[in-house]
A and B are shown apart, each in its own frame.
Chain A
Amino acid sequence: MTILYDEGQQAIATESRRVLEARTSTEALLPLLESVGEYHRPFWDTAKEQGWTALALPEAHDGLGLGLIELGLIAHQAGRSLSGAPFLTSGFGAAKTIELYGSDAQKARWLPALASGESIGAIAFAAGPDTLPAQPDVTFTDDRLSGIARGVSGGLAGDVAIVLANGFGMPVLALVDLTDVERTPLQSFDNSRCVANLSFVGAPAETLVVGTAARDAALHILALQAVVTAHEQTGGAEVLMEIARDYALTRRAFGQPIGAFQSVKHRIAELYGLAELARANCIHAASREGADDFITAAAAARLSATEAYDAAARDCVQIHGGIGVTWDLGLHLHMRRARSLAIEQGSSLFWEDILVDRLAEEAA
């Protein structure tokens, strides 16, 4: 697959930017930080209305039959505009799991609902620092889940979840309807992510994959989501670099724009470099879905995007000086988002290990 965007793809990028820039604002996002359980409904309504929820799902199940490249373009714009909910990525992950590993009945039950956005999907693989635990906290016995899945993004609003569980010492990838599952919201630094602990007490669940294949499947889903998230992070890094650049052009000190000082202009040039490397890795990774080196490419995209967004958040605030740390300017929305996206889909520590294990194998 080529890494040059075609006209249709460019139109997706342009149109999604136009819509999101018109419908999101710092003023709308700031209050969400101070309430638990709320997300930016206009963002999610837009995602459904524009068909972004259906974008990368198969046409046979009401999807649009496009792929990671197109969804990545949307995520990039969502990152630029600080998407108001995590469901685009988690819903894609859940739907992709059902598409790849589910039965016909499971597909029929969930895929159209996820494609329309009527149902919200969530992914519960991690147990704290363990991104893909060998012994998950949640157990799977007699088609029922028990135990607590901690810190699930979107978990508070989710209708269906894919859970990595422990079934008699074997990993199991299970599908669970969240309707009757108790959720405990987490007060977090980025509350619109709707993070919750899911408490399963014998919740009826269905198996998707069992045994070592379950862990491989989970890693594959995680990598798909990581590529989407990496696009979102890159969008965030890119817009922060632009905000820093624009501020450095207008803010004056010592008789000149601060962007004329090398300590400032070089910092911004470095951010440009980080954002472009991340963007290049994202485009490459999105084009490798289905190829042997997909996990490696996803890891590289994820690592460079996390680095770029964190660095851009740090430096953009720094370049603004005092105004940069005010509540109202809202740069902290990006600081917060950079960190929540860094944790979702596994942190850099996880992806470094995934990447190096593969590089070491190749060199063998």
Chain B
Amino acid sequence: MSDLETYRAKAAAWLESMAPTYGREARKGLAEADDLALGRRYQKAKFDAGFAGINWPTEYGGQGLTHLEKVTFDAEEMKHGFPNFYFGISLGMPVPVLMQFGSDRDFVKERVLKALQGEEIWCQLFSEPSGGSDLAGLRTKAEPDGNGWKINGQKVWTSWAHYSDYGVIVVRTDPTVPKHKGLTYFWVDMKAPGVTVRPIKLAGGDSHVNEVFFDDVKISDDHRMSPVGGGFAVAITTLMIERYVATDSAGFGPHLDLFVDLAKNTLLNGKPAIEDGRIRHQIARNHAMRSGLDSINVRARLMMQAGMIPGAEGSLNKLVAVRSRQKLSELAIDLQGTDGFAFDEHASQKENWASSWINAPTGRIAGGSDETLLNTIAEKVLGLPQDHRPDKGIPFNQIPA
């Protein structure tokens, strides 16, 4: 057994032992506050068992291993439905960036340890009402104020801001230069005066994202994590950190086996739906697509293990998997006919077709919309020309609205 397989077995055994206390069954019927509390205890248990910060430096409480162990652990962890999503953003992006770019090292260390143990949560304040895909077009501004800065503006789609203690934020510090060049990266205290968090209820009834308002929020200059005007580069670092995360060829929706089961147990025109050509066609196509993604991901892992850089085809994962999940979920509802009306807004997206369907659009938009991802593949992988960008090279304050 390879070292990695030994690690996988160890992780799987520990996760198995945690499942009764923190897993899917234990969470059933819990109100969100109780679920979060359970999540904090689970995160602490991970820390104590040596499964938190797997690929982080040991001096910050991490395990000093590689992202291979991390991805291996994540893939095993995904099976049990643990309450870990409250910490996904926090430990995925803001805290690693803080580790890399925070200036006050003692402060950084304290924050990292508290975040790793689930005591504190960080959010990422990037998107704004005026633009999500066009990150550099943001309008929230920070102006010099005494020895520090004063922030005014609005962020949106901020996951878990309502539970967050801190956040990392990109703001405009100079509107007189082209848009990418006038941005600066800071961290902020989410409990500071002038910060207002307002949850946004999403289409599926869930409200883990928020609007965040900044009204004359004052911060000192030691909150700054990039050179003045150098914030875009740090923001891009943030987006690259988790480039090879654990993926799911089911698009974070139900496994295809569940659809096959449904088709076997549903009568269509007096026969099991699994015998219907239209249903069979979709099962076959979805299987072929998912097995292709699985193979891409296995190959990426093997390449990383061999010290190679995986191919660009990994960029297909979210694009291909989530939009397929959306259509398959529609078909699963069709298959159930009037039985398909039943809806439980707290049902798991990985187990319930209606929940998977209604939340699928979020998946196709968050973290890069389908259209943005296609542009990225066309431009970065295939070398096709950039879109026409009328705002290119023009000072931000002269871009026509």
On A, residues with C-beta under 8 Å from B are 2-4, 245, 248-249, 256-257, 259-260, 262, 265-266, 268-270, 272-273, 276-281, 283-284, 297, 299-301, 303-304, 307, 351-353, 355-356, 359-360, 362-364
Convert B134-145 into 0s and 1s, putting 1 for each residue whose CB lies closer than 8 angstroms to a CB of A. Answer: 000000000000
Interface size on B, residues (CB 8 A): 44
- A284–B284 touching, CB < 8 Å: no
- A304 contacts across to B, CB distance below 8 A: 288-289, 292
Q: How far is the CB of B374 from chain A (nearest CB, A)?
A: 5
- The yes or no answer to B334 lying at the interface (CB within 8 A) is no
Instruction: Pick from A3, A277, A281: contact of B316, CB below 8 A.
Output: A277
Query: Is B292's CB under 8 angstroms from A269's CB?
Result: no
Listed residue (A259, A276, A299, A304) with the most chain B CB atoms within 10 angstroms of its CB: A276
Indicate whether B32 reaches chain A with its CB closer than 8 angstroms.
Answer: no
The A/B interface has a contact count, at CB < 8 Å, of 133
Query: Which residue of A2, A256, A307 contacts B385 across the interface (Cβ within 8 Å)?
Result: A256
Indicate if the CB atoms of B257 and A351 lie closer than 8 Å.
no
In the assembly, what is the distance between CA of A178 and CA of B273, in Å? 45
Q: Which residues of A contact B295 (CB under 8 A)?
A: 3, 280-281, 283-284
Q: How far is the CB of A242 from chain B (nearest CB, A)?
A: 9
Interchain CB contact under 8 A, A249 and B284: no
Instruction: List residues of chain B with CB within 8 A of the CB of A3.
Output: 295, 298-299, 302
A148 to B172, CA, bound (A): 77
B283 A356 Cβ-Cβ under 8 A: yes
Check: B200 CB closer than 8 A to any chain A CB: no
Within 8 Å CB of A279, what residues of B? 313
**Does B371 contact A266, Cβ atoms closer than 8 Å?**
yes
For the complex formed, measure the closest distance between the CB of B392 and the CB atoms of chain A, giving whole angstroms: 13
Q: Which residues of B approach A to under 8 Å, CB–CB?
A: 256-257, 260-261, 263-264, 274, 280-281, 283-285, 287-289, 291-296, 298-299, 302-303, 306, 313, 316, 319-320, 371, 374-375, 377-379, 381-388
* Contact A269 B374, CB 8 Å, known A260-B387, A260-B388: yes
A5 nearest in chain B by CB position: B299
Instruction: Label chain A's interface by main secondary structure.
Output: helix
Given A256-B388, A277-B293, A297-B291, A363 contacting B261 (CB threshold 8 A)? yes
Chain A residue, CB-CB nearest to B279: A356
Give the distance in Å from the alpha carbon of A178 to the alpha carbon of B292 in the complex: 40
Which among A3, A249, A262, A269 has the greatest number of chain B C-beta atoms within 10 A? A269
Tell me how far the C-beta of B318 lies from the nearest C-beta in chain A, rounded to whole angstroms.
Answer: 12
Query: What CA separation (Å) do A182 and B285 show in the bound complex?
Result: 40
Since A270-B374, A276-B296, A307-B288 are in contact, a sample of 8 more A-B pairs with Cβ atoms closer than 8 Å, ordered by chain A residue number, is A3-B295, A4-B302, A262-B375, A268-B378, A272-B382, A281-B295, A304-B288, A363-B264
Cβ-closest chain A residue relative to B319:
A273
A249-B385, A272-B377 known; A355 vs B296 contact (CB < 8 Å): no
**B377–A363 CB distance below 8 A:** no
**13 pairs, A vs B, C-beta closer than 8 Å:** A3-B298, A256-B388, A262-B371, A262-B374, A265-B382, A269-B382, A272-B381, A280-B313, A281-B295, A300-B292, A304-B289, A359-B256, A359-B287
Residue in B283, B299, B381, B384 whose Cβ sees the most chain A Cβ within 10 Å: B384
- Which residues on the B side are within 8 Å of A249 (C-beta)? 383-385
Cα distance, A284 to B375, chains bound together (Å): 28
CB distance from A318 to the nearest CB of B (A): 16
Instruction: Provide the bound-state CA to CA distance between A297 and B288, in Å.
Output: 8
Contacts of A280 in B (CB 8 A): 292-293, 295-296, 299, 313
Minimum C-beta distance from A263 to chain B (A) = 11
Do B302 and A303 touch (CB < 8 A)? no
Question: B264 — which chain A residues lie within 8 A by C-beta?
Answer: 360, 363-364
A265 lies within 8 A of B383 (CB):
no
Q: How many Å lie between the Cα of A279 and that of B316 in the bound state? A: 13
Residues of A within 8 A of B388 (CB): 256, 260
B257, B274, B294, B375: the one contacting A356 at CB < 8 Å is B274
CB distance from B55 to the nearest CB of A (A): 22
- Check A268 against B382 for contact (C-beta < 8 Å): yes
Measured between alpha carbons, how far is A283 from B291 in the docked complex, in Å? 11
B302 touches A266 (CB 8 A): no
Contact at B291–A281, with CB atoms within 8 Å? yes
Chain B residues whose C-beta falls within 8 Å of the C-beta of A257 in the assembled complex: 385
